Chains A and B, each alone.
Chain A
């Protein structure tokens, strides 16, 4: 489902070339529950951004659902972010000028293909499932961090993605809320058969995943 072949990402800082990722090759199958772990600065987020089509590799190949994604047009990559991938960020990244419900619906306005799914109903159902139906018309800056992260997960799920990418999803939460989010991601993997990839440096969090990919200085160890 996800295949990386000799993927490198380099940054040039003041004439010095620096590899954030060095010839990384890996394969992730359908329905896997993966933890990407390693010390700070080892390239975890960089890797996730490449898999999530937010960033381009300096060299190497990234294949998702069999498609060599960085040979595609921006339209096509945007479409994959819209329909195949769902993101959950450490800082939630919700739009404060839209309500909770509108934030969950945001990806659907960029969906070109017609579906007979009623997005409104679906968004409400998701929010209900995550126990935030009361805050449906609130604005994100008026609800708790744990609630915001659940809204973000609902947003990631609205278009039935095959992959969920979560970068330190519990990083900004207390342990109680963090556990709720983690359980939620686990359920999505187990019951909804979604491939879930969690980036974390927390051993406890990593322990919940079924397979860990360990990075050090931009290389898999």
Chain B
């Protein structure tokens, strides 16, 4: 106990005497730690954002895409992405035979100009069945969904996301019951959805979607082809077997390369792995500043050892061993580094709080522990050379030093 008290007091007294020097040395670590922690926080936030987005797609979902989108858990390189054949109603009919598939929901999407009120906006139309609302947890805010009958009757009904509704008509309330023009046809706004959030970072802006019955869309989709087929599986356990059945059925009409059956989580993993790599590269670059900070500590510790040669001699004369001296200087450099680490964490925390309004950054326990662990490690690694030098001084040379 007293041992640490004495070493701590000696270290703190030294820092107090050299306030500016101590601060500048810690600053190096501070900058390093805060850049690493902040980049980790942004990476974490981005990952959480993406995960949330995919979760909002709904659970137990399989999606059939044309072409080969994902291979070995990565997005496919080069050509062959979203090309290939498109699907039709015959596929949907065949897929309904699968017992574990609760809903088969085809979709045709197109980015179009939508006008209504006195505005015209770009929006994604999502031509599909009424089941889309169930499988994607799209809750209604105002009005009603369109129905299966509406689809069969090719009713010109549209259910709007809240954002596009507000853009066109000012408020959601005024949008309900009004008419919007999509591809030169009038659609009645029968329902407005609750917000799902999202948009930005290239992700889909779900709140700006306009959902219409797919059969109605045939007027501007003359091939009657779908871009995707969503399949809701009854239970998590049945996802793999359902996937196999879907593939088998699809292979009757298409070749292996013309379609992919993907779980929502697979896309999530592929997207996440891209961001994880990007983030790791950035964090690695930031880590260089930590090394620079460490060299700053090493530099100051060397100076400190020279300045305190006499002190080392006195301690050796009263019985300090080489290891005692080594530990004393190691502890000091770790303290220096940890002070920088703590301040860096504090600043990162403040920055994260500040940007949270615009960016979903957040810090987890892991990044805090990593920051503190890494700063202690830097203190040890860069402190060990000066500390070793101090410990190897001969007692007599040290005590005679003026």
Contacts and interface: CB of A to CB of B under 8 A. Distances in A.
A109 to B, nearest CB: 5
Closest 6 CB pairs of A and B: A82-B319, A97-B13, A107-B318, A110-B319, A55-B396, A78-B321
A103 to B, nearest CB: 9
Interface residues of A, number: 30
Interface string B307-324: 000110111111111111
A109 B399 contact: no
Interface string B104-135: 00000000000000000000000000000000
Contact of B320 (A93, A105, A110): A110
A56 B396 CA distance: 9
Most A CB atoms within 10 A — which of B9, B10, B324, B396? B396
A109 B6 contact: yes
A24 interface: no
A44 to B, nearest CB: 14
Contact of B319 (A56, A78, A94, A102): A78
Interface of B: 2-3, 6, 9-10, 13-14, 17, 310-311, 313-324, 394-396, 399
B321 to A, nearest CB: 4
9 contacts: A53-B395, A78-B324, A81-B318, A94-B314, A97-B17, A106-B315, A107-B318, A110-B320, A110-B321
Given A108-B2, A109-B6, A54 B316 contact: yes
A138 interface: no
Contact of B318 (A49, A55, A56, A110): A110
B396 A49 contact: yes
A179 B153 CA distance: 120
A75 B391 CA distance: 12
Nearest to A53: B395
Contacts of A95: 10, 311, 314
A98 interface: yes
A102 B6 contact: yes
Nearest to A97: B13
Contacts of B394: 54-56
B14 A106 contact: no
Contact of B321 (A74, A98, A108): A74
A139 to B, nearest CB: 10
A216 B37 CA distance: 67
Contacts of B6: 98, 102, 105-106, 109
A172 to B, nearest CB: 14
A83 interface: yes
Interface in A65-105: 74-75, 78-79, 81-83, 87, 89, 93-95, 97-98, 102, 105
B396 A54 contact: yes
A35 interface: no
Given A78-B324, A87-B318, 15 more contacts: A52-B317, A55-B395, A74-B321, A75-B321, A75-B322, A75-B323, A87-B317, A93-B317, A97-B10, A97-B13, A97-B17, A106-B6, A109-B2, A110-B319, A111-B319
Contacts of B323: 75
Contacts of A22: none
Most A CB atoms within 10 A — which of B315, B319, B324? B319
B245 to A, nearest CB: 74
B322 A81 contact: no
A81 B2 contact: no
B364 to A, nearest CB: 40
Contacts of A110: 315, 318-321, 324
Given A105-B2, A106-B6, A74 B396 contact: no
A155 interface: yes
A111 B2 CA distance: 11
Contacts of B320: 78, 110
B316 A98 contact: no
A53 to B, nearest CB: 8
Given A98-B10, A106-B315, A93 B321 contact: no
A66 B71 CA distance: 79
Contacts of A98: 6, 9-10
Contacts of A87: 317-318
Contacts of B395: 53-55, 81
Contacts of A155: 318
A155 to B, nearest CB: 7
A109 B8 CA distance: 12
A98 B22 CA distance: 20
Contacts of A54: 316-317, 394-396, 399
Given A97-B14, A98-B10, A106-B6, A83 B317 contact: no
Nearest to A99: B9
Contacts of A109: 2-3, 6
Contacts of B17: 97
Contacts of B310: 93
B322 A106 contact: no
Interface string A97-131: 11000100111111100000000000000000000
Contacts of A106: 6, 314-315, 318
A81 B10 contact: no
B368 to A, nearest CB: 33
Contacts of A105: 2, 6
Contacts of A111: 319
Contacts of A74: 321-322
A81 B317 contact: yes
Contacts of B315: 106, 110
Nearest to B11: A97
Nearest to B318: A107
